[in-house]
Amino acid sequence: MLRQIAVPVIAILIFLGLWELLVWVNNWPNYKMASPSDLPAAFWKYKELFLQMGWQSLWRTVVGLIIAVIAGTLLGMIMGFSKIARDALYPLLVGFNAIPKATLVPVISLIFIGQHDFNTILMAFMISFFPIAVSVGIGLSTLEPEYRDILRSLGASRFTIFRKIALPKTLPEFFGALKVSVTLAFIGTNLVEIVSPHGRGLGALFKSGETNGDYPLMFAVLIALAFLGIVLYYAVVFLERVFAGWAERPQG
């Protein structure tokens, strides 16, 4: 337990040290590249804004991620249990995922004018549901047919087969995809906050720092986003250990 906490903390401290060294060696002023030592003052100066804007970004990201989990799981189940649906939906999903999401922000903002919360949640959902749908679909489609045949011969329904065999089998893939989706959801949230500014969220605070040439504030926002992403990531890790801890391999 101590090692699991100490190793990430030490890695973060090493990263911050190398960042500080890079700025010091190149003698960069903070209007060109802020250093970690510049950030505490920025956090303290704008502490109320960080709390307010950070909460706004966080709750929208979490709501978008929850919707992505529900929709992605249902879509993955459809693709996993139906080859026709899989063949029909995969090209559409891949094509949609290949579209740069920054290009969709103006479109969404024009369609839903003034619906800032909805637009942000929608983008967080759109950018994060793909890994979940694909992982669940692949996990279910690779389910050994022998298990299904045996359970069906014993009179088990499709729901029973899903609950007893398919769901546990897909949990490791599901949580692996969810770890990726957590970071993608934050990207979607901040895309809307920056590209289509509405004065809310950490993206708006970053835009304010850019407009005013406040580089320490801009880098402080980036660190705050990274912190929130890490918090959500470890929340997923905790849930994974609760529901799919059996899949972990012991490491020396």
Tokens of 105: 């922000």
pLDDT band (50, 70, 90) for residue 137: confident
Residues 228-252 have a mean pLDDT of 78
43-247: what CATH class? mainly alpha
Q: Which pTM does this prediction carry?
A: 0.85
CA distance linking residue 14 with residue 72, whole number of Å: 37
Inter-residue contact 224 to 61 (CB < 8 Å): no
Domain assignments of the chain as residue spans, ordered by start: 1-30, 43-247
Give how far Cα 38 sits from Cα of 20, 35, 68, 71, 180, Å: 10, 5, 37, 42, 30
Number of separate helices (H) and strands (E) present in the chain: 11, 0
pLDDT band (50, 70, 90) for residue 252: very low
More confident residue, 172 or 132: 132
For residue 128, which of 171, 190, 66 has the smallest C-alpha distance? 66
Residues with Cβ within 8 Å of residue 233, at least 6 apart in sequence: 179, 182, 183
**pLDDT given for residue 249 in this prediction:** 56
With a cut of 70, say whether residue 176 has pLDDT above it: yes
